[in-house]
Structure 1
Amino acid sequence: MMVSLKQLALLALATGAAVVDAQSGSGKTTRYWDCCKGSCGWSGKASVNQPITSCDKSDNPLANMAAKNACESGGQAYMCTNQSPWAVNDQLAYGFAAVKLAGGTENSWCCACYKLTFTSGPVQGQQLIVQATNTGGDLGQNHFDLAMPGGGVGMFNACTNQWGAPPNGWGQQYGGISSRSQCDGFPEKLKAGCYWRFDWFKGADNPDVTFEKVTCPKALTDKSGCIRNGETPTV
């Protein structure tokens, strides 16, 4: 047991995140970018300082947390482009995800952060720390739907209204685009996150993961605006 705790401590030091609680296990990933307001953007979903920040059609942060989801008729609230993933170094990246965990509810995962260690595909051994900003009725158990521009709109699509994307989003509705060069035609604010998929993420196709809940890095909460009560983000 002493060895296990030491290993966890070393992992925390290596990633700049402290392991918390016992929320861990094996899981699966998919990818998406639907431009919709995340479900953790509504008050009352979890014990947090405030819901995640949503943006207007021009990508400006909305002060009105109750603004209607742009994936609904007449909605004005979209996913902010700064919720795209980015590389910290060759082995670590930060990002955001829609999450569904076995035995839990949004109350337990909204705005919580999870360290994902990839166990398959070209990114095997690399780590991605994500903050949960969304969930999905089509997600399985212990499922992380990673937010990345061009990852496919899935069930909903506000990207056509916001950015003039094709009717089913860029590329395939599920899975999105298939090559890095397709990112060249994306809106400027989405290009870096689109390139990330083919650079740091190496074009991986839904790799498996092990996951554990960690204290959120400040770099993530500064973008989402959401911190779980009682938690102090790590620098």
Structure 2
Amino acid sequence: MKDLLFMLADLWMIFAGFYFGWLFIRRYHNYLLGLEWMVVATSGSNFLFWALLGEDEEGFLYDIAYFLDAFSRSIGITLILVLGLMRVTHRYRPSVKVEVGVFALAIIAGLYLQQFRAGELHVGPATFYVVVNVLTTLFLAYFVWRLWKIRAYGLAVFAGLATAAASAIAITYDFFPLPFDDEHRTIFYTAAMATWGTQLFVYFLAYRAVHNHNVATGREPSSHEPAVVRA
């Protein structure tokens, strides 16, 4: 049952990442969020293959898993997420150079953080992950407030809960391993992937709600019309 729940959580995250990432690109031309969602889905796909094949932590798939994990935890579901959501909160549309630059920064961060492998606590990187998560959470709290302001009360509550759960996962990730978990941290990763998949789903719905409100009030053109660019 524990392994089945792990697989279901991973499949949920993979589906949410690829499907809603594709919708971000197709409907809203938001490549920051669309591609980052797909990075998370790719990470989940790789993690699934790694688990099914039973590879150890010296294998190639684990190298990819650690890189993608560091990519998203450092820059992806932090800076890239904030810049992507600012499309509807501040009508900010970054230039292609900014979009390429922020993904390049995430790649550099992922490669650099490769040296800090799991198995022992690396206080510096672990603290960095928590700090950037806290800063991102502050913006997400503002995003939740924007949802509440447009009377999307249900989405505001769900987005707030998803954000709180993700913050708990981020703090627990390195500093507070579950004492009742197994050596592969199956319970933790099941909870983490279920939470991350839910984040991808809820944030898409929340983004859509704010976008539709902006269009309805004339603050933003529809997704098929030119948008205001602030580089």
The TM-score bracket by the shorter chain reads under 0.3
Calculate the TM-score normalised by the size of structure 1: 0.27
Instruction: Kindly name which structure, 1 or 2, has the bigger radius of gyration based on alpha carbons.
Output: 2
TM-score w.r.t. the length of structure 2 is 0.27
Structure with greater strand share of residues: 1
**Structure ranking higher in helix proportion:** 2
